[in-house]
Amino acid sequence: MKVFITRNIPPIGIDLLKPHFEVELHASSETLPGEALKRKLKDADAVLCLLTDAITPAVMDAAPKLKVISNHAVGVDNVDVAYATRRGIAVTNTPGVLTDATADFTWTLLLALARNVAAGDAVVRNGRFHGWDPLFLLGADLAGKTLGIVGAGRIGTAVAERSAGWKMKILYFDRAPNPHLENTFHARRVSFPVLLKEADFVTIHLPLSAETTHLLGEPEFALMKPTAYLVNTARGAIIDEAALVRALREGKIAGAALDVYEREPALAEGLAERNNVLLAPHIASATVATRNKMAEIAARNIIHVLHGETPVSIVNPEVLNRVK
Ligand code: DGY
């Protein structure tokens, strides 16, 4: 059977696949354009793809033998899962292994944003540090403040757990209650508007879907405190980026730290010019160990599906009997 890997990934994933299948790697760090991807998948049984690959119905239609789409990511918004399910194609992902890395990076951004770390670095590098100044680059304290977690799944929970050191109050918004957060961290489940009104730091941990696209736009920024900070390590399109630029310009919120963008890698006009934003290049899961584990799970998911076994993590388990 043939497996196509759309782009360079940690070698551990490729090495796991090779003894089982004929493996073709697009040995590049560039995303393959749609037409080229279709040609590569013509006779593929499996594709190991990245969040930068759009796996559309047209791409799947060009791959008549395709049995599994293994996404090297936890988010699967780049894959038309409904269409794959109709076609009986398994869609798998890599949850769990990137929870800690992503939660750590969320805190990295939150702290760096609140304490002007990037601005301070630029001042020192550019020779503009003229000595200690009691009024220079004053930031915000975290201790005792309110943390608003939008989406209390694995990553949102890990972010909440890390807040204990700052004795923060935790509010969360989620469809389902999270008893662990409520019992251990005294977290309060609230409506989205209440979270936006009360939180000093709002952090997003939801998957991107039709329901969550532009969840935060002009009306939501209007509810937030002018002293509040926003952090997004989930998916860019959850925020209306143009509305965010306006909110930052008009002082509706104090600042934002983003790891993800609505039209990645492009930025909304005016975003990079704001000095109350911190911009990271989608690296929340980028640790050596985490990326190795993601590659390993992505490979194992393919091995399991093509061998008729249950994969480590499947998004549309209803197709499994049909794949067998
Ligand atoms: C994911 O896995 O969905 C992250 O965005 C990339 O690690």
pLDDT digits (tens, 9 = 90+) for 4-22: 999 999 999 999 999 999 9
251 CA distance to ligand 1 middle (Å): 30
pLDDT digits (tens, 9 = 90+) for 35-61: 999 999 999 999 999 999 999 999 999
Catalytic residue among 20, 188, 264, 274: 264
Say whether 99-279 and 2-95+288-323 share the same fold. Answer: yes
CA angle at residue 305 from 57 to 317, to 5 degrees?
Answer: 65
Confidence of residue 321 (pLDDT cuts 50, 70, 90): confident
pLDDT at position 324 is 53
Given the CA of residue 285, which atom of ligand 1 is nearest to it? 7
* CB 75 near ligand 1, within 6 Å: yes
In 3-state terms, what secondary structure has residue 308? coil
Per the prediction, the chain carries an average pLDDT of: 97
pLDDT digits (tens, 9 = 90+) for 110-164: 999 999 999 999 999 999 999 999 999 999 999 999 999 999 999 999 999 999 9
Is 235 among the catalytic positions?
Answer: yes
**Does the pLDDT at position 32 exceed 80?**
yes
pLDDT digits (tens, 9 = 90+) for 254-270: 999 999 999 999 999 99
Closest residue (by CA) to atom 1 of ligand 1? Answer: 73
Where do we find the tokens 């269409």?
Answer: 83
* CB 73 near ligand 1, within 6 Å: yes
Spatial CB neighbours of 193, under 8 Å, sequence gap ≥ 6: 223
pLDDT at position 69 is 98
* CB 98 near ligand 1, within 6 Å: yes
Catalytic residue among 72, 189, 235, 304: 235
> Does the domain at residues 99-279 carry the CATH identifier 3.40.50.720?
yes
Given the CA of residue 235, which atom of ligand 1 is nearest to it? 5
Domain-wise residue ranges, the chain: 2-95+288-323, 99-279
Is 264 among the catalytic positions?
Answer: yes
Spatial CB neighbours of 189, under 8 Å, sequence gap ≥ 6: 152, 171, 172, 173, 174, 177, 178, 182
Spatial CB neighbours of 207, under 8 Å, sequence gap ≥ 6: 75, 76, 77, 151, 234, 235
pLDDT at position 267 is 98
* CB 74 near ligand 1, within 6 Å: yes
**CATH architecture label of 2-95+288-323:** 3-Layer(aba) Sandwich (3.40)
- Probe residue for ligand 1, chosen from 51, 233, 313 as the CB with the greatest number of ligand atoms within 8 Å: 51
Amino acid at 176: A
Tallying the residues shown for the chain, one arrives at 324
